[in-house]
Amino acid sequence: MTPHADTPTTLAFVESPVQLLNVLEWAHAQGIGSTPPPGGGVGAGSADGLVLVVLAPIDPMTRGQLRRMSELAREEGHVVRWEEARGGTAAPFRTVGGLSRLLRQAERVVMGDPFSRYVQLLLTITRAGELVVVDDGTATMEFVGQLARGERLVRWHRKGGRPGPRDLVFAPVSSAARRRLTPTGSRRVEVFSAMPIEDAPKDVHVVANTFAWTRERFGPPTVTKGADMVGTSLVETGVVDAERYLEAVRQLARTHGVARYFAHRREATDKLHRLQSETGLEIVRPELPLELIARRGPIGSTVLSFPSTVVHTLPLALAGTGVRVTVCDIDPAWLTAGASPRAQGFLSGVTGTARDVHRLANSLDLKVS
């Protein structure tokens, strides 16, 4: 721990590897922390006093990636505080109680997921005059839109559904968090994002994430002649039918000569086993966010993806390498009966607003009978 761990100027909360990566990108853009010297070693420490709090999830894959990302954060000179925030019934009370003093003292709070109930609860405690939201994937686009429209904060794949009992109980906290994320004369709100942010609320500062830290820290990668594919958790979240997704992957792999399939950390093991046995693809479980894996290389000259965060972030991370990111739209016929009415429009918007990507000429060729 550094001397700044007890009285941090900036307190950051993350629950996923991508959120942690984007806090590192934000800190780099702010000039907070330090890059390791060429011979290795640990950074000199942050004069700003950034403490990065990991609200650890239960999923083993996510925990593993967060452990590795925490090592990178420490190498950059940041203090990392690992909280077993979900380790039993008493864990949330213990975590919130242990963080309350830091929350009240911090001048700036950085968060990766404003939809998180944990983060929303913590927001009701802080008195920070500056709040920063960094990317948690494509959800950032939906967050900004909901904030602008004054709507309750609901994840896009759940929007349109009826609120459950837990939603109703938590509604006052969620409303308070939304108010806290609305700029006032005494509170500045910033969104640091690689996503295309349009129609942001008045007085919300939008700052572009260019993945400068990733490009400086890793690579350039070795680029192979083959193609790689990026997996998605759209099946696991109930948006896309599993059989149609598997058939789409089979056809894409056969058509484009895909050799490797980079699994999303939330993809189910049985689905991945089936993909491997039916397609012959090499299934890769990345130990870091894909932006870092791709930048370290080797990476295929073509990267295929369905609508997801990486169609926005990979072109930035791989700028100047010659790698082409190709996106395949989700056919409406692939959606499950329980998918949110908002799903198709949101996924189309993710693809349509992506810059520097190649779009498959006719995704309907992949329609499953």
Give how far Cα 305 sits from Cα of 173, 264, 309, 366, Å.
Answer: 36, 11, 10, 14
Q: What local confidence, expressed as pLDDT, does residue 356 receive?
A: 78
- Identify the bridge partners of residue 261 per DSSP, sorted by sequence position: 229, 283
Residue 110 predicted with pLDDT over 90? yes
pTM of the entire predicted model:
0.86
Give, in degrees to the nearest 5, the angle at Cα 21 between 260 and 284: 15
Residue 331 predicted with pLDDT over 50? yes
CB 326 within 8 A of CB 122: no
Percent of the chain's residues with pLDDT above 90: 55
What is the mean predicted confidence (pLDDT) over 46-70?
A: 88
Q: What local confidence, expressed as pLDDT, does residue 162 receive?
A: 58
Residue 363 predicted with pLDDT over 80? no
Residue 40 predicted with pLDDT over 50? no
Q: What local confidence, expressed as pLDDT, does residue 108 receive?
A: 96
Packing angle, helices 60-75 and 17-30, rounded to 10? 20
242 alpha-carbon distance from chain centroid: 23
Q: pLDDT tens digits for 284-308?
A: 999 999 999 999 999 999 999 999 8
Q: What local confidence, expressed as pLDDT, does residue 364 receive?
A: 41
Residue 155 predicted with pLDDT over 70? no
Quick one: pLDDT band at residue 215, thresholds 50, 70, 90? very high
Pairing relationship of beta strands 188-193 and 204-208 according to DSSP bridges: parallel
CB 190 within 8 A of CB 267: no
Percent of the chain's residues with pLDDT above 70: 87
Give the chain's mean pLDDT. Answer: 86
Residue 63 predicted with pLDDT over 80? yes
Q: pLDDT tens digits for 262-289?
A: 999 889 999 999 999 999 999 999 999 9
Quick one: pLDDT band at residue 67, thresholds 50, 70, 90? very high
Q: What local confidence, expressed as pLDDT, does residue 198 receive?
A: 79
Quick one: pLDDT band at residue 156, thresholds 50, 70, 90? low
Q: What local confidence, expressed as pLDDT, does residue 173 receive?
A: 78
Q: What local confidence, expressed as pLDDT, does residue 170 receive?
A: 59
